Amino acid sequence: MIHQKNSNSPMLYLLALILFAFVFANTSISNERKFSYTYESNVLPKRVREIEIWNTSRIARSYFFRRLDQRVEYEIGLGNNLQTAFYLNLTNELKDDNGVTAGGSISRKTNVGFSNEWKYKISDNVADPIGFALYSEFTFYPHETEYEGKLLFDKKIDNTLFALNLVYELENKYDFKNGIEVKSQENIFEIDFGASYSFTHNFSVGLEAVNKNSLLENKINNSVLFLGPSISYSTENFWVVATYLPQVKALKGATSGNLNLNSYERSLARILFAFEL
């Protein structure tokens, strides 16, 4: 039998990295983020380039499940409030091959993919009544394609930043059974919200909420809410942001108490580290 372990390593790692950041300078770079999951409307200035390194841990379902998503992003400002980015993606997944219960054998899956992002800023979160931007991302794996579109809203009031994202994602997966290609499609609607308070020019603490919804025949089939803290720190040379999100409630499709642990993880943890070129 396989026993699940409650691992705190993602949180320990992100806290260690944030503490390490305090030894550096006190001036923030141009496009630091306050949240890990919720996007803001700001874009890079023309010809400014940035490297972002992503690590996302997805931990525990009703069966043994561990997944690590890693991304390296090259981001560049194109001017006229437009930026683009290119990602190299690596996913490693371990899970019990029973699928919904523990007790089977461990299966491993590794996937490598490529993504292209476009972001266009329409209004500013300080100068205008509300910040607004359009976001599109295309992802390609050997047997999967994904499209993600986002409406990004945010507003900065004194030392507090609020951000809201409305997200639609379309996933197409391709497989072969008995020599015949089988295609499956998943429609996902997501609402991301973040609120962050800047205690200093460099250090912020906030809260993020992520509501994930899977759609079946244009109706919500499953819906879950993740909620947890977000911490960010920026200097002249780099910025770092980390978020820990436990699943707090299944709004529809609960499978274990008030959670959905068949289709979603018990907790998510993400840390982003970026530096300007």
Contacts of 3 (CB under 8 A, 6+ apart): 64, 102
What pTM does this model have? Answer: 0.85
**Per-residue confidence of the chain (277 residues) as pLDDT tens digits?**
444 444 444 455 445 544 544 444 344 455 789 999 999 999 999 999 999 999 999 999 888 889 999 999 999 999 999 999 999 999 999 888 776 666 667 888 899 999 999 999 999 999 999 999 999 999 999 889 999 999 999 999 999 999 999 999 999 988 777 777 778 888 999 999 999 999 999 999 999 999 999 998 888 999 999 999 999 999 988 999 999 999 999 999 999 889 999 999 999 999 999 998 8
Distance CA 6, CA 227 (A): 18
End-to-end CA distance of the chain: 49
Distance CA 251, CA 258 (A): 8
Sequential DSSP letters for 137-170: EEEEETTEEEEEEEEEEEEEETTEEEEEEEEEEE
Architecture of domain 9-276: Beta Barrel (2.40)
Four-residue CA torsion sign, 192, 53, 272, 107: positive
- The torsion angle over the Cα atoms of residues 158, 18, 4 and 259, rounded to 10 degrees, is 0
Which of helix, strand or coil describes residue 15? helix
Q: Pull the structure tokens for residue 80.
A: 């006229």
Which of helix, strand or coil describes residue 71? strand
Contacts of 172 (CB under 8 A, 6+ apart): 144, 145, 146, 183, 184, 185
